[in-house]
């Protein structure tokens, strides 16, 4: 555990020095300027739009970091040969890999936390600046704590995307890893369609393949409750718990597969 922690902290340090966290500035500027512009254009809908935009941005910024840093986590170490000095230190290969994973997770969690605070700050300002009669028409208060549910599921989705990117990066080039991670993510968002594919197509072979992919690729759509939260629809705790269990189990399996491949790899 100690070794995993040190490797993770180093990954975080790398992302800070590589100025990854600058995306937070872009996020803040985007959010503040959008709230100003939308406030000028619409009445009553502006809070909903900002919530929508804020949650979508948290998700997209997180995904970009998870994919584009995740695919380089192992590849960069091998390509630049820094792994040659690291692995002979008293550590197991799985500790190195898990350290890399948790380092990026740490970066992502801090990123999402800061973006969440920025979003709530902008929304709190909008709430304070909006007259009482307009606020009464909102389906939920601007600083609705239910948004945290959507953000928790975004984090869970990012944990899974990071694990998938890391998995591909243990044996493939960054370009291929990025392609495959994005492909899995996109397919995962249309998972429901795959399940129902059999009803719309005559070919049983195609239907079976679609069903196979449905069971193999994670159901990313399950992690997306942004729309429900923005429209103040309830998200049952049971749904949160089950989705979390599903996500964590998937992450564990993907990491296990990554460890198995990485442990057997030759670093020529």
Binding site for other proteins (CB under 8 A): 2-3, 6-7, 10, 13-14, 17-18, 80-92, 264, 266-268
Q: How far is the CB of 172 from other proteins (least distance, A)?
A: 16
Q: How far is the CB of 11 from other proteins (least distance, A)?
A: 10
Closer to other proteins by CB, 69 or 160: give it. Answer: 69
Closest Cα to residue 145, out of 229, 223, 64, 67? 229
Closer to other proteins by CB, 13 or 231: give it. Answer: 13
Closer to other proteins by CB, 83 or 179: give it. Answer: 83
Q: How far is the CB of 87 from other proteins (least distance, A)?
A: 6
**Residue 94 and residue 76: Cα distance in Å, rounded?**
17
Q: How many C-beta atoms surround the C-beta of residue 120 within 10 A? A: 18
Vertex 248 angle, CA 225 and 213, to 5°: 75
Q: How far is the CB of 78 from other proteins (least distance, A)?
A: 10
Closer to other proteins by CB, 93 or 211: give it. Answer: 93
Vertex 222 angle, CA 220 and 224, to 5°: 85
Closest Cα to residue 94, out of 178, 170, 14, 182? 170
Helices (H), 18-146: 23-41, 46-70, 75-79, 83-86, 93-129, 132-135
Which value, to the nearest 10 degrees, does the dihedral of the CA atoms of residues 170, 174, 176, 180 take?
Answer: 70
Q: How far is the CB of 92 from other proteins (least distance, A)?
A: 7
Closer to other proteins by CB, 34 or 86: give it. Answer: 86
Closer to other proteins by CB, 202 or 267: give it. Answer: 267
Asked if 154 and 58 count as a contact pair (C-beta separation under 8 A), the reply is yes
Handedness of CA 181, 187, 190, 196 (dihedral sign): negative
**Residue 31 and residue 34: Cα distance in Å, rounded?**
5
Closer to other proteins by CB, 92 or 231: give it. Answer: 92
Q: How many C-beta atoms surround the C-beta of residue 156 within 10 A? A: 20
Closer to other proteins by CB, 6 or 195: give it. Answer: 6
Which value, to the nearest 10 degrees, does the dihedral of the CA atoms of residues 249, 235, 28, 69 take?
Answer: 10
Q: How far is the CB of 109 from other proteins (least distance, A)?
A: 21
């Amino acid at each position: 555990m100690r070794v995993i922690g040190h490797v993770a902290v180093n990954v975080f340090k790398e992302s800070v020095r590589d100025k990854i966290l600058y995306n937070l500035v872009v996020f803040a500027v985007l959010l503040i300027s959008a709230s100003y512009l939308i406030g000028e254009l619409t009445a009553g809908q502006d809070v909903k739009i900002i919530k929508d935009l804020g949650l979508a941005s948290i998700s997209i910024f997180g995904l970009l970091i998870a994919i584009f840093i995740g695919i380089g986590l192992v590849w960069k170490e091998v390509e630049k040969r820094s792994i040659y000095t690291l692995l002979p230190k008293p550590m197991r290969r799985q500790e190195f890999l898990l350290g890399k994973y948790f380092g990026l997770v740490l970066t992502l969690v801090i990123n999402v936390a800061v973006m969440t605070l920025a979003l709530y700050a902008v929304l709190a300002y909008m709430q304070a600046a909006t007259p009482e009669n307009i606020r009464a028409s909102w389906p939920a208060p601007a600083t609705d704590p239910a948004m945290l549910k959507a953000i928790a599921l975004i984090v869970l989705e990012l944990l899974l995307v990071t694990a998938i990117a890391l998995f591909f990066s243990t044996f493939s080039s960054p370009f291929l890893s990025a392609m495959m991670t994005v492909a899995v993510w996109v397919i995962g968002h249309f998972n429901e369609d795959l399940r129902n594919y059999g009803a719309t197509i005559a070919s049983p072979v195609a239907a079976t393949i679609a069903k196979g992919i449905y069971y193999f690729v994670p159901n990313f759509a399950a992690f997306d409750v942004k729309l429900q939260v923005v429209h103040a629809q309830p998200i049952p705790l049971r749904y949160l718990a089950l989705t979390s269990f599903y996500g964590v189990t998937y992450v564990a399996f993907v990491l296990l597969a990554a460890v198995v491949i990485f442990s057997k790899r030759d670093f020529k």
